[in-house]
Amino acid sequence: MIVVGIDTSTPQTSVAVGTENEIIAKASVAGTARQELVTPLLQELLHRSDLTLSQIGGVAVGIGPGLFTGLRVGVATAKTLAQVANVPVVGITSLDALAYAVRYSPRRIAAVIDARRNEVFSAIYRAVPGGIVRERGYEVHAPDRLVAELQALSGEVLAVGNGAMLYRYVLEEIGSRIEFASPIAAHPEAAALVELAVSRLLREEHDRLFDVVPLYLRKSDAEIAWDRRARGV
Amino acid sequence: MRIAARTSSAEETREVGEALASLLRPRDAVVLMGELGAGKTTFAQGVARGLGIEQQVSSPTFTLIKEYSGILDLAHVDVYRLDRMQDVVDLGLDELGAGDDVLLVEWGDTIEELLPEERLRVELLTDEAAGEHIRVISISTAGAGWVERSAELEVVMLPWAVDA
């Protein structure tokens, strides 16, 4: 089954095309967020692989947590593609994708994405045969809250993600138990989404189109305390 | 710190905004308060001019956000029409530009918890007894970066300063 993957949950824009056996084509643009490249890059990958939309069996999309604007572009693009190609869509969290890519480690894996405003999105995993299991998360909190969470757990930790890079100096408080994955693993890769999604698609465990929504985590139920707004309506 | 200025025309209010703009740094927020017609957008036009923005700046009440590029990029935001904090979160203010735009937020005092730590609060007050075009502009600061800049702030505001 040919699956298209899209991840725009961090400033990296990543797209890939693959099957259960191989990644056929992939492209990632790092640096500043460039979501306008999602569709042209995908088109290019399909074209160079001699594929058309009609040959696609599913779409995998990173649903965050991550950058708002990126997530909205990525999820909207994925859902549109799925609808046009009349194929199922699978939403996968960016933290799962990060952890999955570094799963060949006996350590616990802390996937950490920069949430701006001096906070991080995080989840904690351990590797199991064939994949990963999430033990804690998804959370949005200050880096030192994550440190406290990790300190309460025993054993060695592998921290991965752009949030782990950014707040390395905070996470290092944990001491020698923590190791950091390379910056090349710091952003969710669409290829990892394809790999994660393809087995679910083969088992027909896809999501309903309208159920695929960004995982924002940062929620506020508060009303704005307007006491001075003299609304003319 | 708190500083007060007094202006007697829209152009003078723009000049105050322009003077303040010279002190702005990436990711600063400027919170604008004042009743409808107090001159928030006029002040914003001055800030934009000070940032070397040549485009015409108009009120973003209905567009919610307008972005301009200048010496520093500026995002002009108006939260007047929003009712819920989540609506503000959904604007993704932290992600505008490369995440280092100066944010100029009309009616922003109600959502300060969602804004960067380095903030200037600018309140425009009318004084009808003194005259139709008179504005008292009350400026206060938040964040360590503005402590560093407090002396400069006093200097640039000197031409219009009155007792706070």
Burial code (b: 16+ CB inside 10 Å, e: under 16) for A166-184 equals bbeebbeebeeebebbeee
The structure's pTM equals 0.78
Are B85 and A223 a contacting pair at CB < 8 A?
yes
> What pLDDT is recorded for position A28?
93
Q: Quote the CA–CA distance of A215 and A183 in Å, as a whole number.
A: 24
B101 contacts in A (CB within 8 Å)? none
For the cut 70, the answer to whether the pLDDT of residue B110 exceeds it is yes
User: What CA–CA distance (Å, rounded) separates B158 from B151?
Assistant: 11
Question: Does residue B92 belong to the interface with chain A, where contact is any CB pair within 8 Å?
Answer: yes
Which of A55, A80, A37, A68 has the alpha carbon at shortest distance from A190? A37
ipTM above 0.85, yes or no: no
| Tens of pLDDT, residues B65-88 | 999 999 999 999 999 888 888 888
Rounded to the nearest angstrom, the minimum Cα separation between A132 and chain B is 31
Amino acid, res. B58: S
Across the interface, which of B83, B87, B95 has its CB nearest the CB of A69?
A: B95
DSSP state for residue B84 in the 8-state scheme: B
Q: Distance between CA atoms of A3 and A14, rounded to whole angstroms?
A: 14
Share of chain B above pLDDT 90, in %: 59
User: Taking CB atoms and an 8 Å cut-off, how many pairs form between chains A and B?
Assistant: 53
Identify which of A32, A69, A219 has the shortest CB distance to residue B86: A219
Q: Which pLDDT score, from 0 to 100, does residue A154 have?
A: 87
- A192 and A83 in one domain? yes
Indicate whether A30 belongs to any domain: yes
Q: Per the domain annotation, does A41 fall within a domain? A: yes
In a domain, A177, yes or no: yes
Distance from CA of B94 to the nearest CA of A (A): 7
B85 in reach of chain A (CB within 8 A): yes
Beta bridge partners of B84: A223
In a domain, A218, yes or no: no
Q: Which residues of B touch A225 (CB under 8 A)?
A: 110
Residues A138 and A176 in one domain: yes
* Residues A73 and A181 placed together within one structural domain of the fold: no
CA angle A41, A115, B120 (to 5 degrees): 115
Same domain flag for A67 and A121? no
Which residues in chain A show pLDDT less than 50?
Answer: 231-233
Supply the range of the domain harboring residue A20.
Answer: 3-93+187-211
Q: Residue A118's domain is classified under what CATH number?
A: 3.30.420.40
| Calpha distance A216→B17 (Å, rounded) | 35
Indicate yes or no: CB of A67 within 8 angstroms of CB of B92: yes
Interface check B107 vs A, CB under 8 A: yes
- A138 found inside a domain: yes
Within 8 A of A32 by CB-CB distance, chain B residues are 98
The total number of structural domains in chain A stands at: 2
- pLDDT tens-digit map of A148-158: 999 999 899 99
* Angle of the A190-202 helix axis to the A94-101 helix axis, nearest 10: 100
Same domain, A81 and A127: no
Q: Would you give the DSSP letter of residue A71?
A: H
Q: How far apart are CA A70 and CA B4, in angstroms?
A: 41
Closest by CA to B48, choosing from B22, B28, B27, is B22
Whether residues A135 and A161 share a domain: the answer is yes
Q: What is the pLDDT of residue A232?
A: 43
* Tens of pLDDT, residues B84-95: 888 888 888 877
pLDDT above 70: percentage of residues in chain B: 98
pLDDT tens track for B120-162: 999 999 888 888 889 999 999 999 999 999 999 999 999 998 8
Does residue A116 sit within a domain?
yes
At A93-143, the pLDDT tens digits run 999 999 999 999 899 999 999 988 789 999 999 999 888 999 998 999 999
Planar angle of CA A135, A163, B143, nearest 5 degrees: 125
**With 0-12 CB in 10 A as exposed, 13-18 as middle and 19+ as buried, what is B2?**
exposed
pLDDT of residue B164: 66
Check if B77 contacts A (Cβ < 8 Å).
no
Which residues of A lie inside 8 Å of B (Cβ-Cβ)? 32-33, 67-70, 116-117, 216, 218-226, 228-230, 232
